[in-house]
Amino acid sequence: MKDFYQSLGYLILGSRLRRLSEYYLSEINQVYAKKGIKFDASWFPVFYLLSQHQPINILELSETMQISHSAASQLITVLKKNELVKAHKNKDDGRKQEITLTAIGAELLVTLTPIWERISNTMSQLIDTNPESKAFLNALTSVEQQIQSKSLSERILIDKAKPNEQV
């Protein structure tokens, strides 16, 4: 029997991507747990960005990661609670918080970097063994760019529907 998700094609694309994402994050979290590292894979984008660019304010973080200001702020709050980042007011604009890694965060970065390299190498090996998989990241980027230029909901709602047909 064909996989339920595959049988529904594009109707269930979001669910398939979520399922794949949850599996991926779960597997990465298992690696961290087995290595005795208190780190959650969902923190990676913020933590990695901070490893490359410090200090950064929450607006820059949200724009770079293309997430809401609220989501960026929530991630920073979690990282603060885990003592991995700290925030201080910007000297020029007291409304902005400058986010940096703490000493604990910087120490953790040293531990995480070789694991991230191993993750990248493992995923490259996995993807490179299948020509169709090789195109995955390019195809994903293409879809992301297309929906940034015009939202999916807008495309669905102004589809070439018949004048009397409501979507």
Does residue 164 lie within any of the structural domains?
A: no
Indicate if 105 and 115 belong to the same structural domain: yes
Does residue 59 lie within any of the structural domains?
A: yes
Does residue 49 lie within any of the structural domains?
A: yes
pLDDT given for residue 165 in this prediction: 54
CB 62 within 8 A of CB 45: no
pLDDT given for residue 160 in this prediction: 63
Indicate if 44 and 109 belong to the same structural domain: yes
Number of domains in the chain: 2
Does residue 109 lie within any of the structural domains?
A: yes
d(CA 12, CA 82): 36
Indicate if 96 and 50 belong to the same structural domain: yes
Q: Give the domain range for residue 92.
A: 37-133
Share of the chain above pLDDT 90, in %: 50
Tell me the average confidence (pLDDT) per consecutive run of 10 residues in the chain, 167 residues long.
73 88 96 96 92 90 91 93 91 82 96 96 89 82 86 81 52
The angle at the Cα of 82, spanning 18 to 99, to the nearest 5 degrees, equals 90
Residue of 70, 93, 94, 75 lying closest to 85 (CA atoms): 75
Could you tell me which residues come within 8 angstroms of residue 78 by beta carbon, excluding any fewer than 6 positions away? 43
DSSP state of 110: H
pLDDT given for residue 4 in this prediction: 78
pLDDT (tens digit, 9 = 90+) per residue, 37-79? 999 999 999 999 999 988 999 889 999 998 999 999 999 999 9
Does residue 83 lie within any of the structural domains?
A: yes
